[in-house]
Structure 1
Amino acid sequence: MKKKFNVTGMTCSACQAHVERAVARLPGMRSAAVNLLQNTLTADYDEERLSTQDIIAAVRGAGYDAFAPGEETGVLSPQRAAKDEARRIKYRFIASLIFLLPLLYVAMGQMLALPLPKELTENPGLFALTQFLLVLPVLSVNRRFFTNGFKRLVQGGPNMDSLIALGSGAAVLSGLWGLFRILVLMEHPDWTAALEQAFHGLYFESAAMILTLVTLGKWLEARAKVKTSDAISALVRLVPQEASVLRDGKEVSVPVQGLVPGDIVVVRAGERIAADGVVVDGGGAADESALTGESVPQDKPIGAELAAGTLLASGYVELKVARTGKDTVLAQIITLVEEAAGSKAPIARLADRVSAVFVPTVIAIALLTLVVWLAQGTSFSFALSSAIAVLVISCPCALGLATPTAIMVGTGSAARQGILVKSAAALERAHKVTTVVLDKTGTVTSGRMQVAGIVPGAQSSSEELLTQAASLEHFSQHPFAQALSGYAEEKNIPLVPVSRFEGIPGRGVCAQEGEEQLSGGNLTYMQELGVAVADGEKLLAQEAALGRTPLFFVRGKKYLGMISFSDTIKPASADAVGLLKRMHLQVILLTGDNPQTAQSVARAVGIDRVIAGVLPQEKEAVIRRLQDEGEVVAMAGDGVNDAPALVRADVGMALGAGTDVAVESADIVLMKDDLTGVATALQLSRAVLRNIKENLFWAFIYNVLGIPLAAGVLYLPFGWKLSPMFAAAAMSLSSVCVVTNALRLRFFKPARIARKHQHKGKIMRKTLIIEGMVCAHCAGRVERALNSIPGVQAKVDLSQKCAVVESHAQITDEALKQAVQKAGYEVVAIN
């Protein structure tokens, strides 16, 4: 069982490592991953051996607290909690600054030749006591560093708070000792030198500066963390708070939480959809860019599906609610993004191992620094200053934030592009991909088949062939079957009753029609049935050369004839393949179709290698063979028929899964139904991994260089000495720099696709004025009819009663008119 917990009290990667170790050692715990950025624990455990309370107890035993989401009243969403934390830290910083400024003025005024009250300059005791009184409020508002830090130290799990508490605490104790000495030595005016030495031991301003600068860094870091969750927050805000529902014939406004399946929701132009459902009345165009990344509004006639969070750009619809709340597409997207952001990439393991021993090592280095400098004969003040600098410059936070910030921002950026990444591990694997395998139908091509040719057998007629074939395919959901059923309906072809329908994978279908078996499928299936198809191989070659797929039909032993189907290549496929090749990736077309048809499609989009005639169950073996050859394989398919291959691939990508985002077999779900998403996902993976490596480099190099500098390694040869105040400033900025670097991923833009058309010459563009269109359903029929013409790309504008047609080939006006007339409408003018 996998469950997520909210964890409170963590401040750095040392805390993260401590909680992770405490939970991972529980019997029955399969894996435990703690996310410092989201303050969450994801535990995968055997529920027969462990309970939720056992896990919570382990976290509490480590010195932290944990709650299962929703089980603790008052637990806020990660986004709201991050904003509240940033606001609290901001107030702490302002309060600290208010007292720090006068403290610095008093402590350093004389060195800077600033005017000070006479009472302070002439009374050493008052001078030192004033500094002590000014540092007390700073200590008070930042007492969390001390309570948490010393608590973790006592429990054996020191963290960043422990370093800050030790560093600033040592400075305060030194200051108190100095204050005590000054008050005592004031009674002995002859001890001027000793008194001056005592003044040098006042570290009150250093303690206050350390705490204030660290708090400033924490505030900037918290603000940056809020921005990392912007993508998830934006998705949550897509759902409206209320919806207009028809009840008892009246339109009433109800909270979204009150919607139930079956409700009829009224949506007008400019309003967002409150739940998933089906249009039962009206029509319009929906802006689905927030879910799919597709900026062009999509027509939604009666019967079309609408998803929660999308915007009705135009029209009016009545929506029958199908799914609400956590069952909606949007809710599943949010869950996927949150899970991916909360998961851990393998590259984070190095930082985890370092974090586990980081704080104890730093404390040991600080003690060693103190002892060594004292052994060198330096003053206690110098030795203590160096030890404090070591404590406060060390930053385990930068290590802990390096990976999760990049993962969260990267997955959020992917979501805005219509790409849903299921895990950080998948995102990391994607950057290593060397070969991209593409399914043909529905991936490279649109999958919207159309009847392209009818060749009846010698002893059959076209009408008999169509009647028998359409009757057989009527029960199938295959694209060929749907195209044939639609064609038969358009031609008013009568159907005959059939029974015992059965699909033969990779071959065809069969059913019982009267006393005879009715069968249809590829030429191999005909040969297995013992049916001779005259010039079968020749027909197959001819159709393949035209980019068509033929199906053969037989009743009993009587050959009825052949019906061929053509598929249209998606507009962006050729450009996307070109982009993948420019990324130095091998692109392979993998299909169950015949080799000739596959080669025809491959040539059209620029794919060099084709593996054709592969059954669905054999695709997995092809992927495995490529992996055995040393390739890192990404497989793009429909997420259902290609499930075994998607699972076997190093990275499985499901295309166009807008109504089924939780495709279990895919690592990455591409909401937009074209190949550009494959290239974008791989580009984004490379950008995220590059960002993580940058973060880890700066986090490591900062500590590798900063700690020796603070310890005074360069003091003897060069006289370079880092004061605790500068160390605190550097430490504060290190985490901010790491998070800010990760935030650059918010501006990720996929590489431009240079469009290299297969046909040279000017694009033919015509505008058709069409009569008879009254709703989005009409517009959709006209658009489909025009797009069925080979080489044509058409877009219908219902408001203007027109269609804009583009093509590289010269299409006659008559062909365009006939396509529209077949759809039931009339072209009155062509411009």
Structure 2
Amino acid sequence: MKIDTTDTLPRLIPEVIPQKRVKAPAKLSFASIRAALPLALRKLSPRQMVHSPVMFTVLIGAALCTVVTVIDLASASADAVFSLAVTIWLWLTVLFGTLSESIAEGRGKAQAASLRAGRTSVMARQVRLDAGRRPAVMADLVAAEFIQTPATELTVGDVVVCSAGDTIPSDGEVIAGLASIDESTITGESAPVIRESGGDRSSVTGGTKVLSDQILVRITAAPGQTFIDRMIKLVEGASRQKTPNEIALNVLLVSLTIVFVVVVMALAPMASLANAVPTPIVLVALLVCLIPTTIGALVPAIGIAGMDRLVQHNVLATSGRAVETAGDVDTLLLDKTGTITFGNRRAVGFFPVEGVSNRELVVAARLSSLADETPEGRSIVELADAELAAPELDQAELAGTELAGQLSLREPSLESLEARARAGEVQLEAVEFSASTRMSGLDLVEAGYKREIRKGAASAVEAYADAEGLPERAAQEVQRVSESGGTPLLVAENGKVLGVIELADVVKPGMRERFAQLRLMGIRTIMITGDNKVTAAAIAKTAGVDDFVAEATPEDKLAVIKHEQAEGHLVAMTGDGTNDAPALAAADVGVAMNSGTPAAKEAANMVDLDSDPTKLIDVVGIGKQLLITRGSLTTFSVANDVAKYFAIVPALFAAAFPGLGLLNIMGLSSPNSAILSAVIFNALIIIVLVPLALKGVKYRAVSAAQALGRNLLIYGLGGLVAPFIGIKLIDLLISLIPGLN
């Protein structure tokens, strides 16, 4: 069917009210525990428990104690009540371990549920053109056919049209048009964003809603592989793999477990020499209390919670490895524009050289920016229009110059020039900006007169106009603008420099303080910018970065990353454009902006849904918090084991070896009470530490030595003291219960 596109295209997609993405609860609650309990029970399966060797050992011990307890109960043994109590608490120890992981996964499932709620099955308007041509501009839609296609049947490369009120059916890239998009279904923010063809803000996400205008979208994701689909899998924990540090920690925990198994097995023959052979229940209880069950139970929860904290900051990590690596990063590469500065550089003035009128420079600057769709290019056109007072240029003011009589000067827009070009009145060619030339502009041929207008970085235009040389006035203005922290652009025509455009940008408040914190953490910051060295130095000094790379190309970014990595550094960087993809892929931590191109998001190992480049600093903090949390709880767990040793062994063998009585510091009431108190404390401490594992140990920007000292003081000493207090209190309660003492 043919559709008239002179007005808004009729809607074939039902209107969907976007739902604000629900974030996981910040605190542990009884509701979250109740919801996680069924999953925790399912995780008691040996097939799942075997992936956690420490807790699998506890599971085997609990099963063995269950058999012994049944025999004791059947034979009415005097130790039956004691055996039953120990067995129950051993099973609770295993359950608390799986519960901690289930609670962490449950927080992700809550986020996934809200994402699923925001999805809906829609019909897309797939575009088919005569002769199989693909649309390139919105005008092509006049001759287009639209076929209703379910979103689930769209394949990579299909082209759909989306108008105001439509839901974008799948992930894609805008190839024509501009629209305001509501992305609250994935970012949680209600403020609309602009997505347009060309540049680094062309990516759109399936499930988001078009609020105004109309765009052509080329599908870039297969069904089931969209951004939201991948996000759901990740926040649920289904795609989580153990990180290298986590694997190394598990190896350590397994080694400690093996050591204590050997130690406990050796205790039986040693005790037999004194006719004090411990029962199987006692040996299993002793083993469980001595092996690092606390950290063994909490390791999965810590890893999942680390990714969850990233999601809370609207950052999606493709793996736990990326989160962990962020904690070890010691070099940050930061783009100047949008990261250190606000990024909305705007033209604030035109400064012609001698022999060139202000009007002549303004006209040339305006023409050179008509095809420039960047914010800077648009600001140049806006400022030029303001200075010229009207889009129609005044021919009288150009009288006597070599530009007099050129009709193209009176054209108000690029569209009108293109119309004249189609009519054969002029020859027109837009020169797009490229990283190699660092210039853009327009080539016009009219009535046999060729105008080659260029606008770009000072060094690039100076090289372009090398034959004419850089006028002294232009050099002075470039120096002045650069030293003030602005960005100078030179305008040239046919190899002759006409003047300077000043672009102004502002360093974001608080950046100097944040970089000072990073420096204290041992992290070196490098600013990457395409500006000249003088401008880059001024911005770097104001912001407080450690180093900078000026006049940088995508190749330069990659070279800096390779150089830093060759010197043994771990590097993180942000980017949003296709030209950033190689560097994002090479960096140890690459954070792509959600507003960026699909190539950038595929290359990176993290995606920032808010498209805030400064989020990289938060990502590093979250990574360090993950490592610190794991280290702190490991220290606490090992210290716990030492304290429990002094609780159990002296009480257990004091009768056989009287000398051990000196180590019975706690003065526990009986061997049975000592063992049961330690087992209960061992189980309860896991559930007590779950909130800390989920929330994370607070990270402070201090040196490594200070962090280690604080860790040993708080969690090492705390891990030693807590069991003495906890086990003694439990022992006092148990001593009041008949049959357990």
TM-score band by shorter chain is: 0.5 to 0.7
Structure 2: how far apart are the matches of 1:730 and 1:256?
Answer: 54
Structure 2: how far apart are the matches of 1:343 and 1:581?
Answer: 34
**Which residue does the alignment assign to 2:458?**
523
**Which residue does the alignment assign to 1:371?**
269
Correspondence for 1:505 among 408, 426, 436: 436
**Which residue does the alignment assign to 2:618?**
680
**Which residue does the alignment assign to 1:601?**
539
Contact 1:459 1:560 survives alignment (8 Å): no
**Which residue does the alignment assign to 2:715?**
none
SS in 1 for 2:86: helix
1:335/1:462 Cα in 2 relative to 1: closer, same or farther (>3 Å)? farther
Structure 2: how far apart are the matches of 1:337 and 1:277?
Answer: 22
1:143-158 residue pairs with structure 2 within 5 A? none
**Which residue does the alignment assign to 1:403?**
299
Structure 2: how far apart are the matches of 1:370 and 1:568?
Answer: 76
* % identity of equivalent residues: 21
**Which residue does the alignment assign to 1:815?**
none
Correspondence for 1:165 among 63, 78, 98: 63
Structure 1: how far apart are the matches of 2:356 and 2:551?
Answer: 29
**Which residue does the alignment assign to 1:344?**
242
Question: Do structure 1's residue 233 and structure 2's residue 170 form an aligned pair?
Answer: no
**Which residue does the alignment assign to 1:76?**
none
Question: Do structure 1's residue 420 and structure 2's residue 316 form an aligned pair?
Answer: yes
Stretches of structure 2 lacking an aligned partner (at least 5 in a row): 1-32, 127-148, 392-411, 418-425, 655-659, 702-741
Q: CA RMSD in A?
A: 5.0
CA-CA distance at 1:301 after TM superposition: 10
**Which residue does the alignment assign to 1:215?**
91
**Which residue does the alignment assign to 1:732?**
683
Correspondence for 1:205 among 81, 86, 89: 81
**Which residue does the alignment assign to 1:104?**
none
Structure 1: how far apart are the matches of 2:339 and 2:546?
Answer: 17
**Which residue does the alignment assign to 1:742?**
693
One-letter identity of the residue aligned with 1:331: D
**Which residue does the alignment assign to 1:698?**
636
1:463/1:235 Cα in 2 relative to 1: closer, same or farther (>3 Å)? farther
Q: Deviations over 1:438-470 (max 9, x none)?
A: 211232234334333334566666666566555
**Which residue does the alignment assign to 1:569?**
506
1:596/1:661 Cα in 2 relative to 1: closer, same or farther (>3 Å)? same
Q: Deviations over 1:400-440 (max 9, x none)?
A: 44433112112112112122334333333333444433211
Structure 1: how far apart are the matches of 2:163 and 2:64?
Answer: 61
Higher relative contact order (CA 8 A, sep 6+): 2
TM-score, L = length of structure 1:
0.57
**Which residue does the alignment assign to 2:395?**
none
1:702/1:712 Cα in 2 relative to 1: closer, same or farther (>3 Å)? same
Q: Deviations over 1:496-522 (max 9, x none)?
A: 644484736164247754467554433
Contact 2:340 2:614 survives alignment (8 Å): no
Contact 1:286 1:298 survives alignment (8 Å): yes
Structure 2: how far apart are the matches of 1:566 and 1:340?
Answer: 48
SS in 1 for 2:349: strand
CA-CA distance at 1:175 after TM superposition: 5.6
Contact 2:237 2:304 survives alignment (8 Å): no
Correspondence for 2:513 among 570, 578, 584: 578
Question: Do structure 1's residue 591 and structure 2's residue 532 form an aligned pair?
Answer: no
SS in 2 for 1:342: coil
SS in 2 for 1:564: strand
SS in 2 for 1:550: strand
Structure 2: how far apart are the matches of 1:256 and 1:81?
Answer: 33
Q: Deviations over 1:19-52 (max 9, x none)?
A: xxxxxxxxxxxxxxxxxxxxxxxxxxxxxxxxxx
1:798-809 residue pairs with structure 2 within 5 A? none
1:396/1:342 Cα in 2 relative to 1: closer, same or farther (>3 Å)? farther
Structure 2: how far apart are the matches of 1:546 and 1:424?
Answer: 43
Q: Deviations over 1:630-661 (max 9, x none)?
A: 76544344464444554555544445646759
1:309/1:588 Cα in 2 relative to 1: closer, same or farther (>3 Å)? same
SS in 2 for 1:237: helix
1:344-743 residue pairs with structure 2 within 5 A? 344-357=242-255, 361-378=259-276, 380=277, 382-393=278-289, 398-456=294-352, 480-484=376-380, 491=391, 492-493=412-413, 495=417, 497-499=427-429, 501=431, 503=434, 505=436, 507-509=438-440, 513-514=444-445, 518-529=453-464, 530=466, 531-535=468-472, 536-557=474-495, 559=496, 561-569=498-506, 573-583=508-518, 584=520, 585-602=523-540, 604-607=542-545, 609-623=547-561, 633-638=571-576, 640-647=578-585, 649-655=587-593, 657=595, 660=598, 663-674=601-612, 676-706=614-644, 709-711=647-649, 715-716=653-654, 717-718=660-661, 721=671, 725-743=676-694
Contact 1:239 1:273 survives alignment (8 Å): no
Q: Deviations over 1:36-76 (max 9, x none)?
A: xxxxxxxxxxxxxxxxxxxxxxxxxxxxxxxxxxxxxxxxx
SS in 2 for 1:614: coil
**Which residue does the alignment assign to 2:729?**
none
**Which residue does the alignment assign to 1:251?**
none
1:275/1:616 Cα in 2 relative to 1: closer, same or farther (>3 Å)? closer
Bigger drift between 353-362 and 539-548 goes to 353-362
One-letter identity of the residue aligned with 2:39: E
Q: Deviations over 1:350-403 (max 9, x none)?
A: 43213445555544333322222112122x4x4545323224435565444443
1:440/1:464 Cα in 2 relative to 1: closer, same or farther (>3 Å)? same
Structure 1: how far apart are the matches of 2:512 and 2:556?
Answer: 24
**Which residue does the alignment assign to 1:117?**
none
Contact 2:338 2:613 survives alignment (8 Å): no
Bigger drift between 296-305 and 677-686 goes to 296-305
Matched positions, count = 576
Structure 1: how far apart are the matches of 2:78 and 2:151?
Answer: 61
TM-score, L = length of structure 2:
0.63
Structure 1: how far apart are the matches of 2:693 and 2:652?
Answer: 32
Structure 2: how far apart are the matches of 1:663 and 1:643?
Answer: 8
Stretches of structure 1 lacking an aligned partner (at least 5 in a row): 1-78, 90-141, 180-198, 249-253, 752-831
Structure 1: how far apart are the matches of 2:254 and 2:639?
Answer: 18
Structure 1: how far apart are the matches of 2:178 and 2:557?
Answer: 43
